[in-house]
Each structure stands twice: as structure tokens, then as C-alpha cells.
Amino acid sequence: MKNSKKTNQDNSDGKQRDLDLNRSNGENQFLTTNQGVKINDNNNSLKAGERGPSLLEDFILREKITHFDHERIPERIVHARGSGAHGYFELYKTMEKYTKAGFLNNTSIKTPVFVRFSTVAGSRGSTDLARDVRGFAVKFYTQEGIFDLVGNNVPVFFIQDAMKFPDLIHAVKGEPHNEIPQAASAHDTFWDFISLMPESMHMVMWVMSDRAIPRSLRMMEGFGVHTFRFVNAQNESHFVKFHWKPKLGTHAVAWDEAQKISGKNSDFHKLDLWEAIDTGNFPEWELGVQIIPESDEHKYDFDLLDPTKLVPEELVPVTIIGRMVLDKNPDNFFAETEQVAFHPGHIVPGIDFTNDPLLQGRLFSYTDTQLSRLGSPNFHEIPINRTIAPMHNNQRDGHMRQEIAVGKVSYHPNSLGGGCPFQAKIDEGGFASFNERIDAHKIRERSESFSDHFSQAVLFYNSQTPVEQDHIANALSFELGKVETVAIRERMLGLLNQVDGNLASKVAKSLGIPVPKNIEKPINHGVGADDKGNHEPTKVKQSIKNSDALSMLKNPTISNTIATRQIAFLCAEGVNASSVKAMKTALQNAGAKAVIIAPHLGTITSEDGTAIPVDQTYKIAASVLFDGVFIPGGKGIKELSRIKEVKEFINDSYNHCKFIAAEAEGIQIIKTNSDIKEKDAGVLISNTIADKALNTSFIKALGRHRFWEREKML
Ligand code: HDD
């Protein structure tokens, strides 16, 4: 099937054309069985008499029920909940100097991609707004085969060695006796494990930061995490770290907001991505690389092979090399988003692995998990997974095999098939692993260069703004407050104290216990890099003290656009139409969306008799689902004082540090109908109807996303 597209050079819609072969549409068609027999009655089973038992011979009923009974497959062991989208990647400038990968050499090729974003810990039906890492997996359908960049929205990982991965996941998932809690790390087993694994401290800082509660999947960074290799045509290798930088900036919600969103709309992120693509607001990321020559392998005060470390952008700048645009929603969630199978081991010539022990373990795990999840070694034939590059080999048979391989030869070498399919020489595109020299003893140990567990946790914490540091302390107070075992809380305070004394004291205060002076070593293992007590955690002096790129609020790539932001207009009968229209137009011109909320659906009538269509009622809308609030003027607007949801709406917006604007009579609603006592710079008001200056300053303010300074006033 797929061989018909082998010579395709215009790659941009190559995958879509490939998927067309499997797309079906029942429009204007008869209903049939799976065998193509037209069905005459889809409402009644075949019975012995009107009130009699169903007959076994009813092949239509049996087929329908049997298929239904087998509709589910095991959910992913991690990253079970996800959202997918199609798109393309295009290169800005050739990377030929570093890699021979075709899609990174030729700027005229648009490479089709399929992306799946996910949470990690929760089940398929869990909330989008869990405090969690987000998966950021990209499948590039290149002309030389599939390249999967299976990353996260956090650039480091909890553990250094894949040997600990099952332990980490067992600890974070719902506890085995009662499967509680769902999609949450705030429980004993997770923090028990973490408190015994100081190597996790850097990642813990990220996960306790607002990075773990993104405003949108479209507004988060992505990272390949491990150090990979680029290999060029001369067989020279460079180390490389991959970064995705969102065009809309990196933004988060507040923790209280996240919890409320989970109740109001647990599909918040999924829907946001879907609607953005559906309305033509295609999300976009730039791909950046940090390239490090082989000769610099030992230059840094951390080990490039240690996945709990990042390479600060101040040491090695990120070079932007291309962009990815997501421009098409999947047609079918199960066929595409659920069945897509990523694997860090899917690489193409020009890209290679390093000896990062976490990456090495992943190389085994992903095929293995697809075998149990998708049920067959033929999962590469599922449409979303199949390559658009030519594919021929001597692998045969197995469950659900689709390919009809012709001929009698299925081995190599052969003479009967003329030696085909034949091996490719390197200059014909054949993959050859980078010929790194390895001369070593077999050992089960970690390198001493992996034993600094705190320096980058400190670097991350010190690089945050005071607001962000407060959020980390609050998150830790929440999480450890839910931990029941006091010894675990104490051990965590001991570890936090090694990151920052002030942070540990703040959390200790909330937990009502002192920061322990000496942490007692847990009885089961040394709190060291290995169980043999070798390489106790050490703090290495970092060559840099601060990295702005680590802070969401200081990040130099932060974007001030308000494109696709949703702004709630609190309206009622008798609103001033000009006030609504002027602000709506100004927001729309800046790319944002005005959502009219009123006591009932249909239309409301303005002061001057204009009918204004209503988008949502106060029973449905909630502040946490919006980015900002506008209360227009108009005599009828005082009616809002009688609607109890309005008060909650305004107070939540205020408490979550959102920008609020009000005009004329709308100001009175803020004054009398909320807890906002003092004017602050995040509340913008004007007595004039359709005030251009107010509209402009509101748009500018919304570009800052949040008025976090307000937290100090609350
Ligand atoms: Fe993993 C899924 C990312 C370590 C084993 N992982 C999975 C997905 C992402 C990541 C984004 C979801 C892919 C999708 O949307 O289908 N995983 C990471 C990152 C890691 C990491 C960035 C560290 C840097 N993972 C990791 C280790 C192991 C696994 C160390 C095992 C040794 N991961 C899996 C898995 C999953 C998976 C069990 C579950 C579903 C799947 O693979 O397809 O094999």
C-alpha cells in the first residue's frame, strides 16, 4: 500500500495522503456488517417470537456486540491521557555542518509531523489540570524514516538510571491497595520515594513550579531531555539538546485555579488545543538546538550524560533552526491519538544516541510496551505509525499483518530473490551507529560525575522571581501537607534545606514542624548515588548563578501576544452596546476572543435596542475558564449585582491575579459586588463608554498574562 508513495518528494502532505488510504466516510452509504452485507434493521435483535429469547444465529447482533466487547486496549502505563494533532516541520537553515539527517539539511522540505501531548501520572479519563509533567512527543515522518522526539515540557528527569523508572512510576501512581489518588503526586508513596532519591531534587523544583500547571498545551516549552548526537556526512559527532519554544510564550494558571478548572472542565487543555486548530489559530513552536562539540564533553561541572542536568542557555545558547505548525486535528481519536506509538529509538541517519543510562533503558522499553498495548509486532503498520519512506524487509507474519509480501524469499542473504531487499551503503543512506570507542569493565555502578544532586536545583530556584519562588513553596506545602507520614515530611525538609534554607523554612512552617538539623539516613539504603554508599551527593560549585531562561516570568523568549486568549464580558439586558462593541473589536484585532456571558442564552437587548448574541450563561461560565474579564457600562448592568455567580466570577478573577477592566456602570459592579476593596494596577477602569485608552491598556495588561504582584495584597 504505502509503496505507492515511495518516490514522493513533496513531503508536506505526504502523511495525509498516506492516511487517505485508510480514511472512511459513511456519508450517503448503506449501513453494513463488517462483511459488507447491508443491514435492514439496526434496532431489533432476531427473536423467537415478539417476546421470545434472542437467537444465536443473529450474526448481526453477535458481530456488533463482539466488536463492542473488544473495543478497549490497555491504556499507556504512563502518559495515558493525551491530545494529538497533525502538522509540519520546516527548517530555517541547514544543519548540514552537524547532521546528515535530510529533514535537517534541506530547507525546501516540509516534514509532516504528528504530535501527542500528555499528562504522565493520570489515567485516560483524568483531569488535564493535574500538577504533573506534560509529555511532548513529536513523530517526524521524514523521507529517510521516522524520527521520534519523545520529550517533556521539563528539560530534566527525576532519575538518572532506567533501572529506577518502574519504582518512580509505582510511587507516583495511585497507591496499589486503593488506587488513590488519581493523577496527583500529593501522597505518601511518591514523596517517600523522592525523599530517598536526592537525584530527583532538580526535577522536583520544576514540577513544584508553575511549569506543571500550564495555561495551555500551546503555551509550554518542550525538551528532548537527553543529550543526543548529531552525526554529519564526514562521520563527525556533536552533542545536541533539543528545545521547542512556543510562539505564544510559556504561561501557567494558578494552583487554586487548576483545581477549579478540573471541576468545571477537566478537558480544558484538550479542548483548547482542538478549538485553536479548528478555528485556524494553528499553534506553533520553534525548534532550537544546543550544539556541543565532542571535545567539550568534559568541559562542564555536570555530566552531559546525566538526565537530571540541563545545559544552561547562558553556557551554550539555543540556536533556532526551524518551526513546527500544528494545523490539523485528528479525524479519529482512537485510530490516531490512542494508537500512535512513539519510541526514542526511532532515529534516522544523522541522529544518534548517547550513553545516558536513562535513554539507554528507554530504548528497550518503548517497543516492549507497544507489544502489550497494541498487541502485535505489526504496530508499525497501523496507519498513524507507518513510515512514508520506502519500507522492505524480511520480517513476516504475526497478528493482524496487513502487508502482502510477494515472492518466496524472506531471508537474507538470498540468491533466489536476487539478493533483495539489499543493504544500503552509508552513502546510499544506510544507517550506521556512531563508532564511539568503548573500552570498559562491565559494572553496575554510577559514575562519580553523576553525584551532584543539588547544584542545578539551586540554580533553578535562584533563577526564579520571588513570585515564582513563593509558588514553589506553596506547592510543596500543599503536596507535603497531604503526606501523612511525618518522617517523610522531615526527610523532604532536609533535602529542601540543601536547596534553599528559606524555602525549607517556609514549607516547614506550613507543615508545623522544624527543619531537621541532621537528616537521619533512612535504614534501607544510603541516600547516595548508589546503594553501596559510593559517591554521596555532593554540591558542585556552579559556574553560573542565574539563568533567566529557567524562569517563566523572566524568560527572554516570553511573548506578549494575547492571540487566542478568551476574555469574558459580563453582560445583562440593558448593557451599553458601544461599550461591548468597542472592547470586542479591540480585543479581536489583537487576536483575542470576546465571550459574551449573560443570564440567558439567545440574545440580550442593549440600552439602545441592539440585539447582542449571548455565548454562555452564568450557570456555565466560570472565571477560571477565561484569561481576563471586562464589565461593560450600561444602565442594565446593575442587574449583575443580583446574580450570585457574578460575585464569584469577579472574586476568582481577582484572586487568580487576572486583569479586570470595567467601564462606566460596570465599575460599580466591581465596587459593590466583590471583595476588591482597593484599586490595584491590575484593575483597569474608565468612566467613559467605549474608551480607546482603556481598551489599549487592557490589551497591554493582558499581554502580561497575570498581575502576580496582587498576591502580596491578598
Ligand atoms: Fe517515557 C511514554 C517521555 C523516561 C517508558 N514517555 C512516554 C511518553 C512521553 C515520554 C512523552 C508518551 C508518548 C505518547 O504520547 O505516546 N519518558 C519520557 C521522557 C523520559 C521518559 C522525556 C525521560 C527523559 N519512559 C522513560 C523511561 C522509561 C519510559 C526511563 C522506561 C525505562 N514511556 C515509557 C513507556 C511509555 C512511555 C512505558 C508508555 C507508553 C508508551 O511508552 O508508548 O514505554
Structural domains in the chain plus CATH codes: 31-71 (4.10.91.20), 82-385 (2.40.180.10), 453-550 (1.20.1370.20), 566-713 (3.40.50.880)
What is the rounded CA–CA span in Å between residue 281 and residue 276?
5
Among this protein's residues, is 441 annotated catalytic? no
Q: Has residue 395 got a pLDDT over 80?
A: yes
Helix (H) or strand (E) holding 26: none
**475 within 8 A of 209, measured Cβ to Cβ:** yes
Comparing 37-41, 320-324, 672-676, which segment has the lowest mean pLDDT?
Answer: 672-676
**352 within 8 A of 302, measured Cβ to Cβ:** no
Is 362 annotated as a binding-site member?
yes
Q: What is the pLDDT of residues 548-586, one digit of tens each?
A: 999 999 975 567 899 999 999 999 999 999 999 999 999
Q: Has residue 384 got a pLDDT over 70?
A: yes
End-to-end CA separation in angstroms for the chain: 63
Give the residue carrying C-alpha cell 543512506.
429
User: Given pLDDT bands bounded at 50, 70 and 90, which one contains residue 275?
Assistant: very high
Catalytic residue chosen out of the listed positions 11, 86, 105, 152: 152
Burial (CB count within 10 angstroms: exposed 0-12, middle 13-18, buried 19+), residue 11: buried
CA of 165 to the centre of ligand 1 (A): 10
* For the CA of 368, the nearest atom of ligand 1: 44
Beta bridge partners of 240: 228, 291
Give the residue carrying C-alpha cell 500550564.
214
Calculate what percentage of the chain has a pLDDT beyond 90. Answer: 91
The phi, psi pair for 653, rounded to 5°, reads -60, -45
Q: Has residue 5 got a pLDDT over 80?
A: no
| Beta-carbon-side half-sphere exposure of residue 631 (alpha carbons within 13 Å) | 31
pLDDT score, position 560: 84
What is the rounded CA–CA span in Å between residue 10 and residue 375?
33
pLDDT score, position 10: 55
What is the rounded CA–CA span in Å between residue 80 and residue 197?
25
Q: Has residue 700 got a pLDDT over 50?
A: yes
CA of 408 to the centre of ligand 1 (A): 38
pLDDT score, position 528: 46
**286 within 8 A of 249, measured Cβ to Cβ:** no
Establish whether residue 362 lines the binding site of ligand 1, counting it when its CB lies within 6 angstroms of any ligand atom: yes
Is 373 annotated as a binding-site member?
yes
CA-closest candidate to residue 699, choices 592, 623, 597, 625? 592
Is 396 annotated as a binding-site member?
no
CA-closest candidate to residue 138, choices 101, 168, 163, 113? 113
| 101-112: average pLDDT | 97
What is the rounded CA–CA span in Å between residue 176 and residue 183?
14
Is 654 annotated as a binding-site member?
no
What is the rounded CA–CA span in Å between residue 55 and residue 61?
9
**Whole-prediction pTM value?**
0.96
Establish whether residue 478 lines the binding site of ligand 1, counting it when its CB lies within 6 angstroms of any ligand atom: no
**243 within 8 A of 318, measured Cβ to Cβ:** yes
Establish whether residue 705 lines the binding site of ligand 1, counting it when its CB lies within 6 angstroms of any ligand atom: no
| 195-213: average pLDDT | 98
| 688-711: average pLDDT | 95
pLDDT score, position 543: 80
CA of 221 to the centre of ligand 1 (A): 17
| 322-341: average pLDDT | 98
- Helices 165-172 and 357-374 pack at an angle, to 10 degrees, of 60
pLDDT score, position 125: 97
**214 within 8 A of 158, measured Cβ to Cβ:** no
Comparing 61-75, 83-97, 271-285, 670-684, which segment has the lowest mean pLDDT?
Answer: 670-684
Catalytic residue chosen out of the listed positions 79, 238, 243, 471: 79
Given its phi and psi angles, is residue 319 left (phi above 0), alpha (psi -120 to 50 degrees) or beta? beta
What is the rounded CA–CA span in Å between residue 429 and residue 233?
10
The phi, psi pair for 141, rounded to 5°, reads -90, 80
* C-alpha cell belonging to residue 703: 499581554
CA of 78 to the centre of ligand 1 (A): 7
Among this protein's residues, is 152 annotated catalytic? yes
Is 88 annotated as a binding-site member?
no
Q: What is the pLDDT of residues 28-83, one digit of tens each?
A: 999 999 999 999 999 999 999 999 999 999 999 999 999 999 999 999 999 999 99
- What ipTM, to 2 d.p.? 0.99
Establish whether residue 224 lines the binding site of ligand 1, counting it when its CB lies within 6 angstroms of any ligand atom: no
| Beta-carbon-side half-sphere exposure of residue 379 (alpha carbons within 13 Å) | 20
Instruction: Name the amino acid, one letter, at 377.
Output: P
* Peptide linkage before 181 cis (omega within 30 of 0): yes
Residue 315, helix vs strand vs coil: coil
Residue located nearest, by CA, to atom 19 of ligand 1: 151
Comparing 123-127, 507-511, 521-525, 676-680, which segment has the lowest mean pLDDT?
Answer: 521-525
Establish whether residue 361 lines the binding site of ligand 1, counting it when its CB lies within 6 angstroms of any ligand atom: yes
What is the rounded CA–CA span in Å between residue 277 and residue 83?
12
User: Given pLDDT bands bounded at 50, 70 and 90, which one contains residue 674?
Assistant: confident
Q: Has residue 367 got a pLDDT over 90?
A: yes
**639 within 8 A of 574, measured Cβ to Cβ:** yes
* C-alpha cell belonging to residue 70: 473488544
Establish whether residue 78 lines the binding site of ligand 1, counting it when its CB lies within 6 angstroms of any ligand atom: yes
What is the rounded CA–CA span in Å between residue 706 and residue 627?
9
Q: What is the pLDDT of residues 433-468, one digit of tens each?
A: 999 999 999 999 999 999 999 999 999 999 999 999
Q: Has residue 699 got a pLDDT over 90?
A: yes
Give the residue carrying C-alpha cell 532519575.
159
CA of 343 to the centre of ligand 1 (A): 8
Question: What's the longest Cα–Cα distance across the chain?
Answer: 90
**119 within 8 A of 128, measured Cβ to Cβ:** yes
CA of 190 to the centre of ligand 1 (A): 18
Question: In Å, how far from its chain's centre is CA 38?
Answer: 44
| 646-661: average pLDDT | 96
Residues 6+ apart with CB under 8 A from 646: 570, 618, 640, 669, 673
pLDDT score, position 383: 98
Q: Which of the 8 DSSP states describes residue 176? A: T
* Peptide linkage before 413 cis (omega within 30 of 0): yes
Instruction: Name the amino acid, one letter, at 697.
Output: S
| 412-430: average pLDDT | 97
Q: Assign 3-class secondary structure to 354-417.
A: CCCHHHHHHHHHHHHHHHHHHCCHHHHHCHHHCCCCCCCCCCCCCCCCCCCCCCCCCCCCCCCC
Give the residue carrying C-alpha cell 463492542.
68
Establish whether residue 357 lines the binding site of ligand 1, counting it when its CB lies within 6 angstroms of any ligand atom: no
Give the residue carrying C-alpha cell 502487508.
403
Residue located nearest, by CA, to atom 11 of ligand 1: 135
**493 within 8 A of 511, measured Cβ to Cβ:** yes
What is the rounded CA–CA span in Å between residue 121 and residue 73?
18
pLDDT score, position 282: 98
* C-alpha cell belonging to residue 464: 526564579
Q: Has residue 4 got a pLDDT over 50?
A: no
